[in-house]
Structure 1
Amino acid sequence: MARIGGFADDDIVGWLGLSPTLGGALGSYADAVYNRGRLDARTRELARMVIAGHNECAVCRNTRAEASGLDEEFYLHVDDWATWAGYTPAERVAAEFAHRFATDHVGLREDEEFWERCHPALSDELIVDLALSCALWLGQGRALRVLDVGQACRLTV
């Protein structure tokens, strides 16, 4: 049950209307992540889905990047990001970054071994795009969960 307004379970946009300036800015931020970011679709989607699991966000868990040609097999192994052979080493590094961004950001910052693996796999520019993308997903997903809005929605990115 939504903690604000009388929004339907599938209304992911209506609640943003309560804060049109910030809601509009959030929409622009999301547009930048999905349409202007430099992460390839597979890396972006794996990192996004790792964050979705930590946020327990139905919207994110049910969203698929169908336009990117990713199949359900790709999504079935998100919880096995560290070991599934179908993900590349760079995708696994991005998934680990997303996981630790959501669960232990200080440990991530201080882990020299991680950064030694990360830099050959992702350029500084991609690391920045990944960090800013994770910030969007973590923040927006947690806002949706805390306010209990939009939890029945199925979006297509």
Structure 2
Amino acid sequence: MLWRAPELLREGIDTPGTKEGDVYSFGIIFHEVIGRQGPYGIYDGMANDNAADIIRKLQAGKTQAGSPFRPDLNKIVDMPYGSDPSVRAAMQECWSESITDRLSFRSLKLKLKGMKDKSKRGNLMDHMMQMMEQYSKNLEELVANRTQALRDEERKTKNLLHRMLPS
């Protein structure tokens, strides 16, 4: 759920994914790779906010400061590529609150290739390109599997309640 786009979180758990939502998810994963931490800076399950708090903040839209809740880019400044303005801009474009302002995977791929060409250390960008391709191939399968697992659990819960409660 931490990788799911805010607009999809607001609509509910049964809402099918979108390409724009996938771009948002990629931006979160991109931040994880650069920051070498979990989503939203979670490291080994420890963070200032737990997952439920993060999801509530995402669903709420704007924070008290008036901007959407997103991972903290200041926490990755000391990491390799964490201070690169083009890397930071790509993340922010993936996280845009407006789905029409988000990058497409095609333009994101071109942007990442451009970063690789400018970089003398291409290994990270090669890895990111491979990861993006693998991500785009496997994401739909992962979403389908998890949605089916959720529906199975809901069905089990309903059956259990029907057995426990008198008719």
Larger radius of gyration: 2
Same fold by TM-score greater than 0.5: no
* TM-score between the two structures when normalised by the length of structure 1: 0.30
* TM-score between the two structures when normalised by the length of structure 2: 0.28
